């Protein structure tokens, strides 16, 4: 039997709110962790999973109140300790790994300085021996060329390497427990697996317990031994990973699993509630949207948009100290988007996939020598406002970040219809009516029209973003990672909605994502991009199942996955 290391007993944490109400971030949560165990804490944002980690470190916000229960480490309660009593525990007995390694490291100090400082604080190693230990730690954390890296600054290293540096700092005092708060969320899929493997190896090697806080069931399946599922601060269920994955008892756990996009098989819809509204109310919006003007006689199955020899070079202008720098974001790519299909573009961050879309939308000017044909006509380059409007009516975009894509000083309804009102397409009262109709179509209550964006959740905001794009009655939607900022269940609901809309309205979509599984679920054809170039292009059934190109094969291989059939 393994020794019990940390236990959270019946913990309730409350925040008194400004309006006199009390918000409970955690409700009677109990968690036990043994040495050498990797425990996953899963839940959507707002589930209270980060609060557990903060409670264990004594880093709760000042206004937090522990209503019931406590946290004990090795049998001693630590939840009532003062700031100074916590200091020897932090770092020494409990390490913490942050979500974004780029912001967790101090940008003006070298990796070596940061690592050595921690080592000299927490261990009795000084000077040369501290340095030797630092190199040993980095090698432990699978950092190549460890000695060289010590003199590097965080911005000179990739996200995956930075996260390994954070690992090294976290394990330097040989803590009993490491709390990893979404350690791979900020990283590309390709490095995610390697980083997780390192973490798991460290846990087994030094017999360290790990609490892995994540929203991603795939990550849990990859490395966790035991899982706790949380929702709204309450415990939904817990059990060994295999049991939760294969025989979840609660509906919510089942939903959480169903919401994970799978790579092996394309499903018609995710098995989660949500999607286009099923009520009769949606008909009004649908009638409006289907009443759009016919733009050309391009039949289903013919290319609606043709892209030829598209390139984009970003130039950093020369200044006193350095010459002009050129960066080729997109390098001579060509593809067609067929009317009525969903075309996917996948690639890691920096592969130029969003830039392609922004050029098609006219937000970037491409390099000379390209040809963009849309509805059988050249896309206008120097656009007058009339031409711009004509294009806006047909070509719209769903943006990546719902938190910045809505004007924070306009109501939700105003955000949806402001532009078409400004163009005089629709009058004031009709606009108000339309905003309500569109909201119902995308699955929101009519009453939300008057709410300001900050009063809505990320998923709700993204629905507003979709409604805004639809208000122009477009026939082509460019979707720029529309769900990457959202929880997996919200993502599933939104993807269902987009599929419903496409079916009902006959939309053509260009769908950019870094997530192969999402593309697999959404798209008919896919283009794989790497450093601005096209690696492979073809049907999803082929490219994402049995790819020819070694790069695509590599991408597929590192995807965290677990056997879904086992899970059913």
Partner 1 sequence: METAVEQTMTSRPDKPEPTKWKRAKKVFKGHPMAIAGLIGVTLFILTAIFAPLIAPQNPYDLAKLDILDGLLPPGSRLYDGTYSVMGTDALGRDILSGVMYGLRISLFVAFTAVLVGSSIGVLLGLLAALRGGWVETIIMRAVDLKISFPGILLALMLLAIFGTGVDKVIYALIIGAWASKARLVRAVALSEMKKEYIDAARLAGLSDFRIMTRFLLPNSISPVLVVLPMSISGAIGAEATLSFLGVGVPITEPSLGLLIANGNDYLLSGKWWISIFPGLVLVAMVLCINVVSDRLRDHSNPYLRAKD
- Residues lying near partner 1 in the complex (CB under 8 A) are found at 15, 17, 19, 23, 25, 45-48, 50-51, 54, 61, 232-233, 361-363, 385, 388-389, 391-392, 396-397, 399-401, 404-410, 418-420, 422-423, 447, 452, 455-458, 460, 465, 468, 472
Least separation in angstroms between residue 409's CB and partner 1 is 4
Rg (CA), the chain: 26
Instruction: State which residue, 28 or 34, has the beta carbon closest to partner 1.
Output: 28
**Bridge partners for 229 per DSSP:** 42, 237
Kindly tell me which of 156 and 445 has the beta carbon lying closer to partner 1.
445
CB nearer partner 1, residue 400 or residue 521: 400
Closest approach of partner 1 to the CB of residue 180, in Å: 17
By three-state DSSP, how is residue 536 classified?
strand
**Structure token pair of residue 241:** 């990973």
CA angle 269-271-276, nearest 5°?
55
Cα of first residue to Cα of last residue in the chain, in angstroms, is 31
Choice between 78 and 395, CB closer to partner 1? 395
Closest CB to partner 1 among 18 and 323? 18
Inter-axis angle of helices 159-171 and 189-206, to 10 degrees? 20
Nearer to partner 1, 172 or 180 (CB): 180
**DSSP classification of residue 245:** H
Nearest to 469 by CA among 551, 555, 399, 368: 399
How is the beta sheet containing 22-34 ordered, strand by strand? 22-34, 4-16, 65-73, 76-77
Minimum CB distance to partner 1, residue 360 (Å): 11
The nearest distance, CB 242 to partner 1, in angstroms, is 29
Separation between Cα atoms, residue 320 and residue 104, nearest integer Å: 32
> Other CB atoms closer than 10 Å to residue 538's CB: what's the count?
16
Closer residue to partner 1, CB minimum distance, 278 or 409:
409
- DSSP at 19: T
549 φψ region: left (φ > 0), alpha (ψ -120 to 50), beta (else):
beta
Q: Cβ 419 to partner 1, closest distance in Å? A: 3
What is the closest distance, in whole angstroms, from the C-beta atom of residue 17 to partner 1 in the complex? 7
Short-list 507, 498, 87, CA closest to 269: 498
* Shortest reach from residue 361's CB to partner 1, in Å: 6
Q: Which is nearer to partner 1, 408 or 506 (CB)?
A: 408
If the CB atoms of residues 173 and 452 are measured against partner 1, the closer one turns out to be: 452
Minimum Å gap between C-beta 412 and partner 1 is: 12
> Closer CB to partner 1, residue 125 or residue 383?
383
Tokens standing for residue 272: 């989660």
Helices (H) and strands (E) in the chain, counts: 22, 20
Nearest to 211 by CA among 171, 177, 161: 177
Distance CA 407, CA 11 (A): 39
Cβ neighbours around 533 below 10 Å, total: 15
**Number of CB atoms found within 10 A of residue 562's CB:** 18
- Please state the closest distance from residue 455 (CB atom) to partner 1, in A: 6
The distance of closest approach from Cβ of residue 30 to partner 1 in the complex, given in angstroms and rounded to an integer, is 20
């Amino acid at each position: 039997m393994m020794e019990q290391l940390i236990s959270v007993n019946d913990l309730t944490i409350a925040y008194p709110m400004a309006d006199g109400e009390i918000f409970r971030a955690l409700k009677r949560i109990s968690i036990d962790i043994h040495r050498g165990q990797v425990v996953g804490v899963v839940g959507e944002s707002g589930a209270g999973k980060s609060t557990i980690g903060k409670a264990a470190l004594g880093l709760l916000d000042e206004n937090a109140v522990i209503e019931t229960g406590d946290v004990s480490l090795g049998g001693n309660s630590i939840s009532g300790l003062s700031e100074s009593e916590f200091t020897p525990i932090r770092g020494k007995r409990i390490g913490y790994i942050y979500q974004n390694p780029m912001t967790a490291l101090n940008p003006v100090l070298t990796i070596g300085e940061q690592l050595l400082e921690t080592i000299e604080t927490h261990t009795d190693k000084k000077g040369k021996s501290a340095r030797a230990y630092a190199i040993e730690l980095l090698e432990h954390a699978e950092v190549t060329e460890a000695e060289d890296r010590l003199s590097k600054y965080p911005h000179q290293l990739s996200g995956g390497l930075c996260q390994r540096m954070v690992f090294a700092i976290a394990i330097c005092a040989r803590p009993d427990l490491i709390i990893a708060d979404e350690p791979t969320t900020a990283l590309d899929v390709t490095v995610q697996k390697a980083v997780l493997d390192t973490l798991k190896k460290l846990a087994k090697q030094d017999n360290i317990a790990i609490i892995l806080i994540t929203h991603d069931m795939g990550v849990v399946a990859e490395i966790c031994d035991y899982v706790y599922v949380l929702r709204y601060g309450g415990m939904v269920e817990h059990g060994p990973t295999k049991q939760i994955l294969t025989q979840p008892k609660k509906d919510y756990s089942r939903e959480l699993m169903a919401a994970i996009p799978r790579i092996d098989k394309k499903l018609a819809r995710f098995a989660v509630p949500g999607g286009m509204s099923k009520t009769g109310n949606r008909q009004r919006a649908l009638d409006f949207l289907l009443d759009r003007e016919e733009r050309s006689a391009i039949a289903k199955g013919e290319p609606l948009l043709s892209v030829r020899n598209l390139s984009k070079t970003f130039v950093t202008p020369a200044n006193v100290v350095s010459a002009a720098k050129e960066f080729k974001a997109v390098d001579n790519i060509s593809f067609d988007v067929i009317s009525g299909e969903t075309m996917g573009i996948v690639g890691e961050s920096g592969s130029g996939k969003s830039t392609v879309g922004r050029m098609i939308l006219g937000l970037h000017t491409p390099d000379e020598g390209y040809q963009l044909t849309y509805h059988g006509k050249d896309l206008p380059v120097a656009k007058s406002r009339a031409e711009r409007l004509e294009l806006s009516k047909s070509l719209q975009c769903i943006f990546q970040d719902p938190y910045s894509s809505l004007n924070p000083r306009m109501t939700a309804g105003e955000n949806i219809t402001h532009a078409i009102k400004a163009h005089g397409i629709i009058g004031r009262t009709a606009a108000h009516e339309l905003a309500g109709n569109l909201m119902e179509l995308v699955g929101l209550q009519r009453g939300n029209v008057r709410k300001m964006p900050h009063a809505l959740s990320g998923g709700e905001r993204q629905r507003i973003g979709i409604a805004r794009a639809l208000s122009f009655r477009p026939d082509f939607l460019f979707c720029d990672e529309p769900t990457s900022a959202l929880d997996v269940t919200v993502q599933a609901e939104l993807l269902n909605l987009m599929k419903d809309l496409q079916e009902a309205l006959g939309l053509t979509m260009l769908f950019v994502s870094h997530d192969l599984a999402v593309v697999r679920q959404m798209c008919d054809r896919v283009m794989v991009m790497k450093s601005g170039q096209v690696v492979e292009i073809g049907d999803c059934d082929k490219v994402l199942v049995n790819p020819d190109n070694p790069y695509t094969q590599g991408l597929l291989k590192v995807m965290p996955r677990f056997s879904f059939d086992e899970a059913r």
